[in-house]
A and B are shown apart, each in its own frame.
Chain A
């Protein structure tokens, strides 16, 4: 794993991507920092980081697009996949190398709160906690980009796809707001979600009885709740979907100055799931 990690890291800095990414990040952090903290005198650096959430939407896809798509296109994946190294280690090596590149601008900006402190009141704890959340949010985005890169041979599709997914995640809380919140709408929404889930299970297992049984059980449960405990379904779907909002955790840190430990754990869990899916997508490709 360390061999792959070091090679990837080196290659980020042998091609331009690493430098361009870091320069891009530092430039925009500088602009936001100057505008919000220096010129307007706002004492929270976390506000600058909130601005950066939209900027990494552009930066991260550029960083991650190469990771697997390029290997697949130039067939260098043949070297990695025929070497006595497990796919998980290949994926982790690449992932950590990208995380390291992302860590550079984050560490560089860690002086910003100190600059604020030199000029007046600073909220160091809140700022550094937000920086941690910002870093982990970036790691989630990197994992998303890596997954999409492993699904395609084209770097462009990987980059655009990652951008699209991250944008969707950013807009998620607003989009969820458009959903109807009545009990019947929730019931229908849950029915659709459940059917989707069952169809995936059916696709994997090809087991008729299991599929029909699961679907029937789910429909019965939802319809039962709808008629017996209707108020339980009020806003239930909206509430559930709002929880999926990834940026909310970061906003808890940056806007509400809450140390959301549960949120950080959810970030780490999401990263694990995405890495797992990347491994699976590579394994899957070898089989079809």
Chain B
């Protein structure tokens, strides 16, 4: 378990990390997400004991990184942004050196090195000088070095940066594999990566934690503001009438689809009541089916993590969320966005109603 309490890092007037608080529990993959310069690397550097904090504490399994650095560092394997490798050593030498630094007993050392070489698929290049390795291989050596001896906590700073897509997938799989038995913390500014790998996402911006939840929850909370796109073989009026009959439907916009006799409907739903009730898609399906109007396609427009991220990090004052563990705060943000969308669609709806009364 890692506890970060009130962490501050002041670089001569610039707060890189601004009163950060969070707790990391064992056995999960955590993702630090944030734009460039958000303070991800600084936080990781402080957590691993590379740099000191201006204020605040970091406890690694109960050991304060400043007061008992050796005990705390024993629990951590760290892959910084730039893998710290000595270019004049071979892959194998580097890993043996890392094993010695981590105080792995002599008997187990060879075995430990073999294991991590296997894991990072480095066996083919073990005799090559790191100087001659490509960026992707260096990254893998860095990863192998971080996980050698399998410390309980593994911290990876942008582990896939600079890799080709195939290598990215490989490293992701490795990380997932590691996540089964270890606490893994990785940082990234790439959303798809974080959502693909992590069990828990922490969004950091300007040194502050602005959201912390599982990817599903973050998406779901945003999904409230989203709607559905339907393609229906029916007239405009029929579509509107059918949709109006469904209680959760909030706004409807019916557009031409471009094809003869087919309408495209954009629907949004009232928030708050979707949880316990039956799936809205089913109701829509049966509503149209009863009238024998075929639905040609139905697509939920769920807010992706991208939207969550952009929404949370867009303003100068990001969302004013103080304690991230409380979903209400995020809800608040979302409802702001909701309002914005709402005001737009309301106008459309009024127009639609006007049409109907005629």
Contact = CB atoms under 8 A, between A and B. Distances in A.
Contacts, number: 66
Contact of B78 (A7, A82, A86, A286): A82
B82 A75 contact: yes
Contact of B84 (A14, A75, A86, A287): A75
Interface string A75-95: 111111111111000000000
Contacts of A208: none
Contact of A74 (B52, B87, B100): B87
Given A3-B100, A79-B98, A79-B101, A84 B70 contact: yes
Contact of A84 (B84, B85, B102): B102
A80 B101 contact: yes
A10 B88 CA distance: 9
B82 A79 contact: no
A74 B82 CA distance: 9
Interface residues of B, number: 29
B69 interface: yes
B64 interface: no
Nearest to A283: B52
A83 B86 contact: no
Nearest to A7: B97
Given A74-B87, A76-B85, A286 B97 contact: no
Contacts of B49: 81-82
Contacts of B86: 7, 11, 76
A75 B98 CA distance: 15
A83 B88 contact: no
A4 interface: yes
Interface in A1-17: 2-4, 7, 10-11, 14-15
Interface of B: 45, 48-52, 69-71, 73-74, 76, 78, 80, 82, 84-89, 93, 97-98, 100-103, 145
19 contacts: A3-B101, A7-B89, A14-B88, A15-B88, A74-B87, A75-B80, A75-B82, A76-B84, A78-B78, A78-B84, A79-B84, A82-B48, A84-B71, A84-B103, A86-B69, A86-B70, A286-B51, A287-B51, A287-B52
